[in-house]
Amino acid sequence: MALKRPQFPFDEIEENSNLPAVFLQRAMICGERTALRYKINGEFTGAYSWRDWVTHVKRVALGLHALGIRKGDRVGILSENCPEWTFADLGTMSLGAALVPIYATSSENDIAHIIHHAELKAFFVSTSDQLQKVFPFRDQFVRDGLIGFFTESFPEVLSLTTLEDRGRLMELNYGGFYDTLVRKVRADDTATIIYTSGTTGLPKGVMLSHRNLIANYQGSFRRIQVDEGDSVVSCLPLSHVFERLAGYYYMVARGAVIAYAENMLTVGEDIAKVRPTIVIAVPRFYEKTRMKILDAVANAPRWKQGLFKWATRVGMRVSQLRIRRRKIPFGLAFFHGIAGLTVFNKIRKAMGGRIRFFVSGGAPLSKRLARFFHVLSMMVLEGYGLTETSPVLAVNALEDFKFGTVGKPIAGIGVRIAEDGEIMTSGPCVMQGYFKNPGATAGVMRDGWFYTGDIGYFDRDGFLRITDRKKDIIVTAGGKNVAPLNIEGRILSDSLFSRVMVVGDKRPYLCALLVLNRENLMRAAGVCASSEPEYAALLKRTETYEFVRRRLDACLEGLASYERIKAFELIKDEFTIAGGELTPTLKIKRRAVIEKYRDIIDALYQRTDDRWAAASSKDAGTGCP
């Protein structure tokens, strides 16, 4: 059953409006307050006020109109996160055109497919390097339709500054024209087309309307509240709908400050400098943060290690009581206060000292990882969604959470479980369809319900648990249905493992391809394998295999025998986007990995079968039953 949405600020403005109108309304209220922050020479000294932001958006919109971009057209962008990304985005949408983002890590084939399939009329690029990826397609765009954020001069490339100059001239000659354009944009007009980085085949273009996106952050307001006092570090790609909705549109609607991280390598440093109240990231960020904390403790004097262990024991007791909604005894609260002053507050200070909560999405967050931060008095709120659902379907809340789940559905949508366990949803957040692909749309939309392809269930308290992707379910030769995501999640809860892929479809038992965390393995082995040959030799050692076997078995303790990994192969190289193993959102392309490592997988099963056959023969020869 769909939930009634509570009153959201400016509901009467936003309900049948568009995203640029929401932006303009907020800017009228916030005026000269800081809206966007960015780095100049390594420091966050660059900033735009809400008024500045509006000026740039208006000029980009009018500049695009001068180029010939009209309502219903599509404009591409290939850029890292930066203020200019939002100028292009809001400027494009102000015309009633749709922005089509492309991941900065996308392959040449995917870029070519999107440019041609979406029939892009203009294109924004952030750097000269990104320009090289789209320059061969410049003839497809309108004249001067290839626009660069950079200052270098290139033939056939219009600078963003020049585009804005053209917009400024139009603004001077046609006062009020921009506002007229925005008023013509309807809630059900397509705001963006996001090409999903599918694990198989070419990406499909998901069409999302202004109503889709506005309804999504309005519905999320019931679960997570944000206001003008908040600030967020933007570090996930804006090409991904998770960052775009949660870290951008929602922040705009509530008047929060957005600061752009320099890159993924500087996120920790940037968080410390910006001192945000909210951090939105994927599970790998939280795992790396955990390891950084534990490494600092391991390298600290012994008395500090002891203090950390005592503080976390106290924190664990408090965490357990809070999870059960129990009152904390006075004595325990007193010791917890001391633990906060001596340990937890210092960790929080390293992250700026102002974080109210973290949000995790894009991939499953292990319960162990969520509890680790909760013990340190920091909350990680896990959510769930898809590009096709704008994206949020469910999320945990500060006062209503359960680790190991993705929370409860947001307001205003319907979520239910099909007979085969597939999660279905309906309501205003469901996409308009796949662009120029009615067959694919019909394959996921039936009777007004979108079939997510994910398997899950609601527990007795109404929290949603995800167990696996329907298409990834393994059916063994013995007819057992196995959810690899659950097994892989257990394994990845151990920081020794960097990537895991379970295989075994139509096979008699499960095996796995394992990519280890090099630093953690070398630390455990007490060796330094700095070169590739040295690391390859380390992986081949019997001691290494036995060590990994023990850690693996510990992760899978309690599972049924058919869910346990009978054999594994240690893969030396990380799975990468360039190597074809990962999507731009860092999800494993299962079919691609199976194809790439087919010989290794076949050999793994053959060796295991031979070893078992030899053991059986030996037992038979000695008269063992």
CA 556 to chain centre: 26
Q: Integer distance in angstroms from the first to the last C-alpha of the chain?
A: 57
Residue corresponding to tokens 């192969």: 569
Into how many domains does the chain fold? 3
Q: Which long-range contacts link 130-135 to residues 24+ away (Cβ below 8 Å)?
A: 130/78, 130/79, 130/104, 131/157, 133/78, 133/108, 134/76, 134/78
Residues 236 and 299 in one domain: no
Residues 438 and 478 in one domain: no
Identify the pLDDT of residue 14. 64
**String of DSSP letters for 130-144:** HHHHHGGGGGGSPTT
Classify residue 583: in a domain, yes or no.
yes
pLDDT in tens, 70-84: 999 999 999 999 999
- Give the domain CATH number at 444: 3.40.50.12780
Classify residue 462: in a domain, yes or no.
yes
Residues 374 and 247 in one domain: no
Q: How confident is the model at residue 617 (pLDDT cuts 50, 70, 90)?
A: low
Classify residue 191: in a domain, yes or no.
no
SS3 content of the chain, % helix, strand, coil (to 5): 45, 20, 35
Choosing from 256, 277, 298, the residue where a domain stops is: 277
Is the CB of residue 74 less than 8 Å from the CB of residue 120?
yes
Q: Which of 169, 199, 191 is nearest to 470 (CA)?
A: 199
Residues 317 and 253 in one domain: no
> What is the gyration radius of the CA atoms in the chain, in angstroms?
26
pLDDT in tens, 215-245: 999 999 999 999 999 999 999 999 999 999 9
Residues 231 and 306 in one domain: no
**String of DSSP letters for 431-472:** -SEETT-HHHHHHHEETTEEEEEEEEEE-TTS-EEEEEEGGG
Q: Measure the CA dihedral 574/575/578/580, to 10°.
A: 150
Question: Is 286's pLDDT higher than 80?
Answer: yes
Choosing from 431, 447, 469, the residue where a domain stops is: 469
Residues 252 and 308 in one domain: no
pTM: 0.87
Choosing from 415, 441, 469, the residue where a domain stops is: 469
Classify residue 620: in a domain, yes or no.
no
Helices and strands counted in the chain (H then E): 24, 27
Residues 237 and 90 in one domain: yes
3-state class (DSSP) for residue 345: helix
Identify the pLDDT of residue 10. 53
- Give the domain CATH number at 503: 3.30.300.30
DSSP 508: S
pLDDT in tens, 295-312: 899 999 999 999 999 999
Classify residue 586: in a domain, yes or no.
yes
Classify residue 618: in a domain, yes or no.
no
Q: How confident is the model at residue 512 (pLDDT cuts 50, 70, 90)?
A: very high
pLDDT in tens, 330-376: 999 999 999 999 999 999 999 999 999 999 998 889 898 999 999 99
DSSP 282: -
Angle in degrees, CA 214, 220, 221, rounded to 5: 95
Which residues constitute the domain of residue 240?
19-185+224-277
